[in-house]
Amino acid sequence: MSKAAKATNAEANPDEQAQSASDGGEIEGQRDISSAELKAIAEAMIFVADEPLSAKTIADVIKVDREAIEVAIVDLVAEYDARNCGLQLREIAAGWQIATRPEHHEQIRAYLKSRPSAKLSLASLETLAVIAYKQPVTVPEILEIRGVQSPSAVKTLLDKRLIVAKGRKETVGRPMMYGTSKEFLIQFGLKDLTELPSIEDFQDLAGGES
């Protein structure tokens, strides 16, 4: 079956459609939609979304099979790569987002660093780095690593939703443990924590984050 047929079932004959309906295979409210339109809608939704958008979310909204959306996204990724433009479609934090290309990151960082209100303080940056690379970690453990108190920096990072509580450590006093959040992955453009950059690159990235 072609990609268009997978996306819409438009080429299925009436008998096949009836059989699919009787088997419960159709999605209620599903409409015929071409592969080109499917890609256009998926791209538009990803563009306007405030956070990475999953194929399942897109499929649920426009009432098509998730597989059809996944095929459309694969095609979109290839199209963005073929354009050789400044943007790419990238998988981030279990969803998809339109992002800038790595080869332009130096210029993007320079722009972001030019916005004074967007920078993290040195204390917040150091604390975020400790949490990112040592998580889950407690405030006393952060103090031991940094050598200075960090409660205000931790509060700042919590307010910015870059970190979240990860439960309490089973030790004396049962202190709260902290780790990075989904928002952290989104803000730093990471698919998951395995993509954490070097400490030096992390400092450059954090210097331009809000």
Amino acid (1-letter code) at residue 180: T
Bridge partners (DSSP) of residue 97 are: 90
In tens, the pLDDT along 126-168 reads 899 899 999 999 999 998 888 877 788 899 899 889 999 999 9
Can you say how many angstroms the Cα of residue 3 is from the centroid of all Cα atoms in its chain?
26
The Cα 151–Cα 169 span in angstroms is 17
- The chain-wide mean pLDDT, for the chain, equals 80
Region for 94 from its dihedrals, namely left if φ exceeds 0, alpha if ψ lies in -120 to 50, beta otherwise: left
At 83-106, the pLDDT tens digits run 888 999 999 988 999 988 888 888
For domain 3-100, the CATH class is: mainly alpha
Count the alpha carbons within 13 Å of 122 in the hemisphere toward its beta carbon.
Answer: 2
Torsions phi, psi for 2 (to 5 deg): -70, 165
pLDDT surpassing 90 at residue 30: no
Greater pLDDT, 9 or 200: 200
Return d(Cα 136, Cα 143) in angstroms, integer.
14
List, in order, residues 6 or more apart from 51 with CB less than 8 Å away.
Answer: 93, 95, 97, 182, 186
HSE of 43 in the Cβ direction (CA atoms, 13 Å)? 17
Lookup: tokens for 111: 């722009």
Assess contact for 46 and 97: CB atoms under 8 A.
yes
Average pLDDT over residues 77-85: 91
User: Considering the domain 105-206, what is its CATH architecture?
Assistant: Orthogonal Bundle (1.10)
* 102-126 exposure pattern, b = at least 16 Cβ within 10 A, e = fewer: eeebeebeeebeeeeeebbeebbbb
The full set of domain ranges for the chain reads 3-100, 105-206
Query: Residue 93: what are its φ and ψ, rounded to 5°?
Result: 50, 50
Fold identical between 3-100 and 105-206? yes
How far is the C-alpha of 177 from the C-alpha of 141, rounded, in Å? 9
